[in-house]
Structure 1
Amino acid sequence: MKFVIESISKSSGRLGHLVQNETERLFRTPMLLQTTKGGSIPYLTPEVFEYITKEIPALQFSLSTIDHMTDSLKLFNGSFARYVGYPECLSLLMIRNPCEFTPSGHNDKDTVPLFTRRGKETCTANRYMDIIEIIKPDIYQGFCDADTNLDSAKKRLVKCIDRTAQFMDICYERHQNSNILEKCTLFVPIVGGYSMFARSNSINHAKSKGGNAAGGYIFEGFHNYGLSATEVGATELTSVMTHCLKELPVDKPKMMPGAYTPPVILELISLGVDIFDTSYAYCAASNYKLLTFSFNLTDAENANMEPFLDITTDSLKEDFTPVLVNCCCLTCKKHTRAYLYHLYKTKELLGPILIMIHNLHHLLQFFNVIRTCIGEDKLPDLIQLIKLQGRDAAVDYSIKPNSKAINISDKDKNFAIAKNGL
């Protein structure tokens, strides 16, 4: 995988692209990875995803949701992307699922916990690298202990740094000595919570031991995924990230996984972060929310938009307007708010499908505008619009568990139950 920086703006971040090794296809950055669960985009088939965009997607897979596939993959004559129905996509493998809240604890000396469909399991660095050689993704995350957040104690930070260094020593050796992984790119994890000192220690190890192996960097340990990522504030995060990015090579891509809010994403892009994922769209959809925030700079003065539309609101049952009047997604072109409310009340399978179609389309359009604003050096204007939405005070983009969740007897029937931050 090759990363090319096209331009750098003093106040608006940078534009670039990733070049896929096999096909030499370009994927523009800042980039939005499509988060998957069990190898599939939540609620959508590949055919339905084509209603959102005709572009070849970049997909983010997580070991915690595909670990059960590894035995059959050994017998499959083809790539993992082809195995799950996206033969031409760019694939990136992570350890944890950014859509789901990951419980703290359960850390042993030589293993990392995986919360899978079969319950909690453990994985060693060597087993992880064995799986990487089976899956052969375009990009994979280095094995790490990222069990930290804003409240983590100093002792936990020290342990996560030491254990990650121990794991990554194994990953570096296996990556550099493996003929199978010659075309796979390693994203080195940078951990350490919100401590600049701890993050610097993680960076120093990455530069001293993995300088030649590193194809990029992935920043972990700011939250426990799921809805907890939407609670992360820009102030604390940007101060740590500013410090980290100054210590890392400029010519390597940087990734921030998790359901960060649009204002936080924009602040990170302005600092030089290149890759994000769509877990924010899923977290909103699984709590019955459609994304409605405005990113139209030509009509910024009249924005005054809410970040979400909650389809459980009873007043929508006679609202026969689209979710967004100017949106060209399949959901807004063909269906009304009242119909979506009806699908929620009747627990129809089509409901979450239509919500996810809209949310992914909205985020993809948002990133198109971001890249345009970077090229025109207007990202500060977009940051101001997203933050205020035509108001005098900042808008709250965090996602709360929906209080009108379907009762427990309906669990796993189309709409998800709000539980553990989801």
Structure 2
Amino acid sequence: MKFAVLPSPSSSNNSERIGEITFEEYPDKKFSTPTYIVQTRKGSVPCITCDHFDELIGNLFAGSNESVILNMNYWDLMENPSLEILTKYLEKNPTKTLKNYLHLEKYPFFQSIRNVEFPYPTSNANEKGIYADLEKGRSKFTDAEFCNHTFNMFKPDIFIGIHDTNIKCKVNDSFGTSKQLKRAKTSTEKWGETCIKKRQELVDKQQTGIPEMIYSVFYESEEMTSLIPEVFQNNTDNIKGINFDIGHMDDLEKIVKIKESLKNQKCDLEKLVFFISGKDHPLEVLECVSRGVDIFDGIYPFTIAEMGMASMYPLELPNDNPEKVKMTINLRDRNFEKDFTPLESTCTCFTCRNHTRGYIHHLLNTHEMLGDILLTM
């Protein structure tokens, strides 16, 4: 993976930037930033089959070599496919990968450790490892086990190193005691270093298809900043980006402070891609872009579709009060019962080209699955 910041039009905010990510495995495709990585649930894009998703992406970037990156949650892979099933599949098909198992070979995989479907993390951590509440019960995974799964089984194109997500859960307007924060800082740096060293071992062995790493940081105060270990600060062969852990990002100005700290550590910010998880509302995304964030994930497109809504926010927002702009329309509303216009007249997606607001209103109110599918697309 390579990331390059591209020249951009003059802006009032120097933090905003556009860039391009390239992968050796996908030489004929480019991935422009800022970009949204598409959320998956247990290996599939919600409401859309693999074939329909291919068609949707093809229509979205018609005549272009642009594509998208898929987000895969680490905990999902523990249960579907289970580790046992995936192990058997890989033993029988040594040349195949998780992508082949899921029939999603056309897209790069981005493996994250936070499940963005929930407002707070489901994982807990201490010095011994990180815990997850799975369907089969609570399971513990050490940093060594995480590296084994990531490098030997899942083999994503990009992954976020294991880090402490638990203390960043906001409870009673607090983000944890200083003792919890120190433990989190120590654990995150220890686990991050384990991931870096394991990856370097594979590089030294000249293995191919090694996942690229994004290092996770958080910021509480000048003394409580968890950043890249000094020995790896300028090693962009091992660390390709920075993850701002959203569970701790109550104030987006912390992004700016973290970047300033990285600059003080003499890290080359032009070579690092910046990722934030869970900030997926259009206005939140714009705020993050203004602070130089390159990659986002989230479930906003799927959540509003499951609520029977279509995303209709304007590209030009009023300066006086952008929060008052109507971002969605509710297709369950009876006002759309006899509305035979498309959702958006200028949109060229399958839904807008072939179906009307009235038809989608009918599907939603008769509880037809097709309504969710069309709105998601």
TM-score calculated relative to the size of structure 1: 0.72
| Whole-Å separation in 2 of the counterparts to 1:141 and 1:266 | 23
Alpha-carbon distance in 1 for matches of 2:75, 2:123 = 16
Partner amino acid for 2:254? V
2:243 to 200, 203, 218: 218
Cα 1:52–1:241 shift into 2, 3 Å:
same
- Counterpart of 1:339 in structure 2 is 359
Following TM superposition, by how much is the alpha carbon of 1:66 offset from its aligned partner in structure 2, in angstroms? Answer: 1.7
Render the CA deviation track for 1:44-78: whole Å, top value 9, x for unaligned. 11211134221543111111112233332532332
Describe the shift of the 1:119–1:284 C-alpha distance in structure 2 as closer, same or farther (beyond 3 A). Answer: farther
Q: What SS does structure 2 have at the residue aligned with 1:197? A: coil
Pair 1:61-2:72 in alignment:
yes
Among the aligned pairs, what percent are the same residue? 23
- 3-state SS of the aligned residue for 1:283? helix
Secondary structure at 1:3 match in 2: strand
Deviations 1:214-273 (A, max 9, x none): 1111111436xxxxxxxx87xx21x11111112223121111121432122112212211
Distance change (3 Å), C-alpha of 1:16 and 1:207: farther
Match of 1:326 among 314, 321, 346: 346
> Residue 210 of structure 2 aligns to which amino acid in structure 1?
K
Give the equivalent residue in structure 2 for 1:382: none
Deviates more, 1:135-144 or 1:286-295: 286-295
TM-superposition CA deviations, 1:86-113 (whole Å, max 9, x none):
2131211112322334456743432223
CA offsets, 1:276-318, max 9 Å, x none?
A: 1252212222333211101158x999x9962011233343333
Following TM superposition, by how much is the alpha carbon of 1:119 offset from its aligned partner in structure 2, in angstroms? 4.7
Structure 1 unaligned blocks of 5 or more = 224-231, 358-422
User: How far did residue 10 of structure 1 move?
Assistant: 4.6
Pairwise CA distance, 1:173: 2.0
Alpha-carbon distance, 1:181 to partner = 6.9
Among 176, 186, 192, which residue is 1:153 paired with? 176
Q: Is the 8 A contact 1:32 1:276 kept in 2?
A: yes
Task: Give 2:63's aligned residue.
Answer: none
Asked if 1:87 corresponds to 2:90, the answer is no
- One-letter code of the match for 2:314? S
Higher helix share: 1
Shift of 1:149: 4.2
| Contact residue 2 and residue 18 of structure 1 kept, 8 A | yes
Bigger relative contact order, structure 1 or 2 (CA pairs below 8 A, ≥6 apart): 1
Aligned to 2:61: none
Q: 2:260: which partner in 1? A: 246
Structure 1 pair 105–2 and aligned structure 2 pair: CA distance change class (3 A): closer
Rounded to whole Å, the distance in 2 between the matches of 1:314 and 1:275 is 38
Contact 1:112 1:122 in 2 (8 A): yes
Moved more, 139-148 or 75-84: 75-84
Describe the SS at the equivalent of 1:256.
strand
RMSD over equivalenced CA pairs, Å = 2.8
Q: How far off is 1:115 after superposition?
A: 4.1
More divergent stretch after superposition (99-108 vs 311-320): 99-108
**Alpha-carbon distance between aligned partners in 2 of 1:207 and 1:153, rounded to the nearest angstrom:** 26
Task: Provide the rounded CA distance (Å) in 2 between the counterparts of 1:117 and 1:48.
Answer: 29
The amino acid across from 2:2 in the alignment is: K
Contact in 2 for aligned 1:255/1:275 (Cα 8 Å): yes
Cα separation, 1, equivalents of 2:97 and 2:328: 38
1:74 to 84, 87, 90: 90
Q: Which residue of 2 aligns with 1:255?
A: 275
**What SS does the aligned partner of 1:191 have?**
strand
Residues 117, 293 of structure 1: alpha-carbon distance in 2 compared, 3 angstrom cutoff: farther
Q: Which amino acid aligns with 1:240?
A: K
- Give 5+ residue unaligned stretches, structure 2: 59-65, 263-267
Q: 1:50 to 1:123 in 2, by over 3 A?
A: same
CA distance in 2, matches of 1:5, 1:108: 37
- 2:155 equivalent to 1:136: yes
Provide the residue aligned with 2:12 in structure 1.
11
Select the residue among 187, 191, 203 that pairs with 1:163: 187
Q: Are residue 269 (structure 1) and residue 269 (structure 2) matched?
A: no
Equivalent-residue separation in structure 1 for 2:41 and 2:47 (angstroms): 9
1:105/1:114 Cα in 2 relative to 1: closer, same or farther (>3 Å)?
closer
2: CA distance between counterparts of 1:199 and 1:311? 47
What is the TM-score normalised by the length of structure 2?
0.80
Q: CA deviation at 1:32?
A: 1.7
1:15, 1:42 → 2: CA distance? 28
Aligned match of 1:384: none
| Code of the aligned partner of 2:218 | V
Q: Distance in 1 between matches of 2:169 and 2:257?
A: 17
Q: Secondary structure at the match of 1:318?
A: coil
Q: Return the match for 2:36 from 27, 32, 36.
A: 32
1:310-321 → structure 2 map (5 Å cutoff): 310-321=330-341
Q: Name the structure 2 match of 1:44.
A: 48
Residue 343 of structure 1: CA displacement? 1.8
User: Where does residue 313 of structure 2 map in the other structure?
Assistant: 293
State which drifts further: 84-93 or 137-146.
84-93
Shift of 1:143: 0.3
Aligned length: 340
> Contact conserved, 1:125 with 1:167, CA < 8 A, in 2?
yes
Following the alignment from structure 2 to structure 1, what is the Cα–Cα distance between the partners of residues 149 and 96? 15
